Amino acid sequence: MSNLGFSGKSVLVTGAAGGIGRAAALAFAREGARVAIVDVDAKGGEETVGLIAQGGGDAFFFKADVSQSAQVEAMVTAVVERYGRLDCAFNNAGIEIEHLPLAESDEATFDRVMSVNVKGVWLCMKHEIRQMLKQGGGAIVNTASVAGLVGAPGMPVYAASKHAVVGMTKTASAEYGRAGIRVNSVCPGIIRTPMLERALEREPRREKNILKAHPIGRLGEAEEIANAAVWLCSDAASFVTGHQMAVDGGLTSI
């Protein structure tokens, strides 16, 4: 991609120690953005910084658990201290869980998933928007999922969490559109990342069905989600807000 307007901009990516977040951080850096890498995994986060530095880019790691209010607030402060402002945020950190039908899901799992996938995105948006209001605008992309658009048998709690991300995205886009802040979500199909590898290790027989669910005939790659996040954050998407972009190989079309 070129001329997307990222030169000199500062971008924050959560869950950037691996998977989709790392691919997005690298893609933002290739476009000329300065990138804050946020994750609970310091080793993976520093590796992402190293990869960006190898490509001649500017990045730093900030360790934060997105479900912890004080850490999220400190994360935004750190970006502003380092880069002067926060132009774009990709709120991508999230967790998946063992597949179980609703009646077998347990309360501790419900609380953990909601705390990272819902409270985490809410806290990130809250502190990012406060900063973006001070500077007069910005762009936010949240990682939802196809499980935020349609039901996901075996993943009732995860689906609830991702539908909540969609709801917050739509609402925030309406609340802050006039303030120059665009808010969108990207809804991946099934993507080859460490998250998927862990899920297939637990239940290898799922792979055939997962493949069948994608009309395009293959799984997605992290870079394909990264490209969508970069575009949604870019000046090329200047009239796009409140949109839930499915990047799913056609999964939700059938």
Active site residues: 158
Interior angle at CA 252, CA 93 and CA 247, nearest 5: 45
Q: Which of 24, 49, 88, 116 binds ligand NAD (CB under 6 A)?
A: 116
Q: Which is nearest to 72 in space by CA: 47, 46, 38?
A: 38
Say how many Å lie between the first and final Cα of the chain, rounded.
Answer: 30
Q: At its nearest, how many Å lie between ligand NAD and the CB of residue 68?
A: 8
Q: Which of residues 92-111 bind ligand NAD (CB under 6 A)?
A: 92-96
- DSSP label at residue 8: T
Angle, helices 120-135 vs 69-83, to 10°: value is 30
Q: Which of 11, 13, 18, 172 binds ligand NAD (CB under 6 A)?
A: 18
Total site size for ligand NAD, rule CB under 6 A: 30
Work out the number of other CB atoms within 10 angstroms of the CB of residue 248. 25
Q: Which of 40, 78, 157, 229 binds ligand NAD (CB under 6 A)?
A: 40
Q: At its nearest, how many Å lie between ligand NAD and the CB of residue 74?
A: 13
Q: Which of 88, 149, 190, 251 binds ligand NAD (CB under 6 A)?
A: 190
Nearer to ligand NAD, 105 or 145 (CB): 145
**Rg for the chain, CA atoms, rounded:** 17
- Tokens for 169, please give them: 């995205």
Q: Using CB under 6 A as the criterion, which residues of the chain lie in contact with ligand NAD when the complex forms?
A: 14-15, 17-21, 39-41, 44, 65-67, 92-96, 116, 120, 143, 145, 188, 190-191, 193-196
